């Protein structure tokens, strides 16, 4: 009653701090709500952008699928055309096959007829083959006898050839022996293997194929020795004296000789002509020119390469 009495006497209560507190609280609540709204808006904006990008991607994929669908539709149309063509081709092939089967059946009938004819021909050939076998056996007997005869003749021929070679070697040795005696102690005449070698300077002037007097004298001695030996040789012995001309590697070009080939051949022929004049039968002589291509000293411009070689051989 006392408190009531005092308020009634004009004592005023202060409500402003509570109002301020309430207003601050309300403001904080509104700011919080606003922040939540802003964050929500940002989140929604991001989500919306992602959705737009997804929609754009889906639209691009949809366009790509549409293009692929158009391609597949075109392929399907092409396949439909191809299938129609294949059906037509199948029908044509079946018709051709039927025609060929019919023709093959006819050919089979003809083949049976031909087979019978071939069988008859084979039988006839077998009879002929038997006759040939009999004739072959008889011929083999004759061939065996002939083989023995040929082997015997071959042995005789080999023996005869060996005898001729032996005879030629005997006369060649005698020919060489006599020439050695005639041409002993001469540095310009040498023996190389089975050949007598005359230096060209002994027989010919430089770059010439004309025999000199001294060369003719030497060849006369050689011709006489050869005639003496030839008189003892059997007539069936086919011997030949080969005359080979050689030069050095110095090139030559004159009015008479355009190369060493021509000079070497001309010198060999000059020797042959002189020996024929001295009584050696031409059928027992042979000439060859080798130019500078068979030197005794390879790669050397040496006098030893300018030579005439004589070899007694069998024809």
Digit-coded pLDDT (tens) for 44-55:
888 788 777 878
pTM for the whole thing?
0.47
Domain ranges of the chain: 48-161, 183-314
Helices of type H across the chain: 2-8, 16-182, 200-203, 213-232, 260-277
Report, at the CATH architecture level, how domain 183-314 is classified.
Answer: 2-Layer Sandwich (3.30)
For the cut 60, the answer to whether the pLDDT of residue 260 exceeds it is yes
Exposed (0-12), middle (13-18) or buried (19+): which is 131, by Cβ within 10 Å?
Answer: exposed
Contact (Cβ atoms closer than 8 angstroms) between residue 239 and residue 171: yes
Kindly state the average pLDDT of the residues 269-273.
96
Digit-coded pLDDT (tens) for 219-241:
998 898 888 888 887 777 788 99
Kindly state the average pLDDT of the residues 168-188.
61
For the cut 70, the answer to whether the pLDDT of residue 174 exceeds it is no
Model pLDDT, residue 275: 95
Highest-pLDDT range among 25-29, 103-107, 239-243: 239-243
For the cut 50, the answer to whether the pLDDT of residue 2 exceeds it is no
Length of the chain equals 315
Q: How confident is the model at residue 3 (pLDDT cuts 50, 70, 90)?
A: very low
């Amino acid at each position: 009653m006392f408190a009531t009495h005092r308020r009634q006497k004009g004592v005023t209560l202060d409500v402003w701090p509570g109002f301020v507190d309430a207003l601050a609280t309300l403001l904080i609540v509104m700011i919080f709500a606003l922040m939540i709204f802003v964050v929500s808006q940002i989140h929604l904006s991001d989500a919306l952008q992602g959705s737009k990008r997804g929609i754009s991607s889906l639209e691009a994929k949809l366009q790509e699928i549409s293009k692929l669908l158009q391609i597949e539709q075109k392929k399907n149309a092409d396949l439909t055309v191809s299938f129609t063509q294949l059906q037509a081709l199948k029908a044509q092939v079946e018709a051709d096959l039927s025609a060929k089967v019919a023709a093959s059946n006819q050919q089979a009938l003809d083949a049976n007829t031909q087979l019978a004819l071939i069988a008859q021909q084979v039988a006839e050939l077998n009879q002929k083959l038997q006759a040939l076998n009999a004739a072959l056996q008889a011929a083999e007997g004759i061939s065996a006898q002939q083989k023995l005869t040929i082997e015997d003749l071959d042995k005789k021929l080999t023996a005869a050839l060996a005898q001729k070679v032996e005879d030629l070697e005997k006369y060649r040795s005698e020919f060489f022996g006599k020439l050695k005696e005639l041409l002993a102690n001469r540095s310009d005449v040498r023996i190389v293997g089975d050949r007598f070698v005359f230096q060209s300077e002994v027989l010919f002037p430089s770059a010439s194929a004309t025999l000199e007097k001294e060369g003719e004298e030497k060849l006369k001695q050689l011709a006489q020795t050869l005639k003496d030996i030839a008189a003892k040789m059997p007539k069936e012995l086919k011997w030949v004296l080969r005359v080979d001309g050689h030069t050095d590697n110095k090139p030559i070009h004159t009015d008479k000789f355009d190369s060493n080939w021509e000079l070497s051949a001309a010198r060999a022929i000059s020797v042959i002509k002189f020996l024929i004049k001295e009584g050696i039968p031409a059928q027992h002589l042979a000439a060859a020119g080798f130019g500078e291509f068979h030197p005794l000293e390879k790669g050397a411009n040496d006098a030893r390469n300018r030579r005439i070689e004589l070899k007694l051989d069998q024809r």
